[in-house]
Amino acid sequence: MSKTREITVTVNGGVYRRAVEPRLLLADFLRGELGLTGTHVGCEHGVCGACTVMVESDSVRSCLMFAVQADGCRVETVEGLAAPGKMNALQAAFHEHHALQCGFCTPGMLMTATDMLKKYPLENDDAIREGLSGNLCRCTGYEHIVAAVRAVKAKVTPGP
Amino acid sequence: MKPAAFDYVIADSIDMAVASLADGGGDAKIIAGGQSLVPMLNFRLLRPSVLIDINRIGDLAFIEEAGKKIRVGALTRHYQLETSPVIARHLPVLASAMTHVAHLAIRNRGTIGGSLSHADPAAELPMMALLLDAELHIASASGKRTIAARDFFVGALTVDLARDDIVTEIVVPKLPPKTGWGFEEVARRSGDFALAAAAATLTLSAGFISQARIALTGVGDTPVRAAEAEALLVGQALEPGLMDRIIGAVRAAIEPDTDLHASSDYRRHLGGVLAGRAVSAAWRRANESAT
CA-based diameter of chain A, in Å? 54
Q: Average pLDDT for residues B32-54, to the nearest whole number?
A: 97
What distance in Å separates residue A131's CA from the closest CA in chain B? 7
Average pLDDT estimate for B92-115 = 97
pLDDT (tens digit per residue) in B194-214: 999 999 999 999 999 999 999
Q: Which residues of A touch B5 (CB under 8 A)?
A: 1-2, 21-23
Contact (Cβ atoms closer than 8 angstroms) between residue B159 and residue B221 = no
Report residue A129 CA to chain centroid gap. Answer: 17
Contact of A50 with chain B, judged by CB distance below 8 Å, is answered with no
Is pLDDT of B158 > 50?
yes
- The answer to whether residue A1 scores a pLDDT higher than 70 is no
CB < 8 Å from A in window 68-97 of B:
79
> Which of B173, B208, B230 lies closest to B287 in space, CA to CA?
B208
CB B103 within 8 A of CB A58: no
Structure confidence by residue, pLDDT tens digits, B213-226: 999 999 999 999 99
What pLDDT band is residue A160 in, cutting at 50, 70 and 90?
very low
Residues of B in contact with A5 (CB under 8 A): 8
Instruction: Name residues whose C-beta falls within 8 Å of residue A58's C-beta, 6 or more positions apart in sequence.
Output: A115, B79, B105, B108, B109
CA B101, CA B82: separation in Å to the nearest integer?
10
Rounded distance between C-alpha atoms, residue B262 and residue B251, angstroms: 16
| Cross-chain CB nearest to A112 (options B7, B42, B105) | B105
- Answer whether A65 sits within 8 Å of B8, measured CB to CB: no
For residue B203, which of B236, B172, B229 has the smallest C-alpha distance? B236
Amino acid, single-letter form, for residue A127:
A
Instruction: Answer yes or no: is pLDDT of A136 > 50.
Output: yes
Give the mean model confidence (pLDDT) for residues A6-21. Answer: 98
Q: Does A69 touch chain B (CB under 8 A)?
A: yes
Q: Is B110 helix (H, G, I), strand (E, B) or coil?
A: coil
User: CA-to-CA distance for B30 and B43, rounded, in angstroms?
Assistant: 17
User: Taking CA A11 as the corner, what is the angle to CA B50 and CA A148, rounded to the nearest 5 degrees?
Assistant: 110
| Chain B, nearest residue to A67 by Cα | B8
- How buried is B242 (Cβ within 10 angstroms: 0-12 exposed, 13-18 middle, 19+ buried)? middle
Which of B1, B79, B189 comes nearest A133 by C-beta?
B189
DSSP A70: G
- Chain B contacts of A22, Cβ < 8 Å? 5-8, 51
pLDDT of residue B34: 97
Percent of chain B beyond pLDDT 90? 94
- Per DSSP, the residues of B18-67 read HHHHHHTTT-EEEESS-TTHHHHHHTTS---SEEEE-TT-GGG--EEEET
The answer to whether the predicted template modeling score (pTM) of the entire model surpasses 0.90 is: yes
Q: Note whether A133 contacts B103, CB cutoff 8 Å.
A: yes
> What is the ipTM metric for this complex?
0.95
